[in-house]
Structure 1
Amino acid sequence: MTQVHDPYRDAKALSGLTLGKATGYQAEYDASLLQGVPRKLNRDAIELNDSLPFHGTDIWTGY
């Protein structure tokens, strides 16, 4: 059986985030709760380097 590398397991870049952890409920919007996840984790896992011509935008939709 092939073992798949999980780029998120024990990732130092994610250790300070609240993702997957219990948090208090905020009744109002709080921009400080938004937390970025580095794309480099997945790019390293599939052996993409930073020299590729990446372009784009992030579009966030909240419901």
Structure 2
Amino acid sequence: MPVLNTRQEIDKLAIGEILEVWADDPAAEEDLKAWAKHAGQKILEIERTGEGLRFLIQKER
């Protein structure tokens, strides 16, 4: 569900704002990369932690 939740939350942001997303599913990395490319959003950072994956995504449009 990270992609669906991310899409819903990024729609609430103004262009240029940054969304922090956490996911514990290893597949989320490729899923969010594909979604960001398709949706025209920019992934600024991907961090792997003991708690999962942390993404910083900037709204571009």
Q: Place the TM-score, normalised by the shorter chain, in its bin.
A: under 0.3
More helix by percentage: 2
TM-score (norm. length: structure 1): 0.24
More strand by percentage: 2
TM-score (norm. length: structure 2): 0.24
Larger Rg: 1
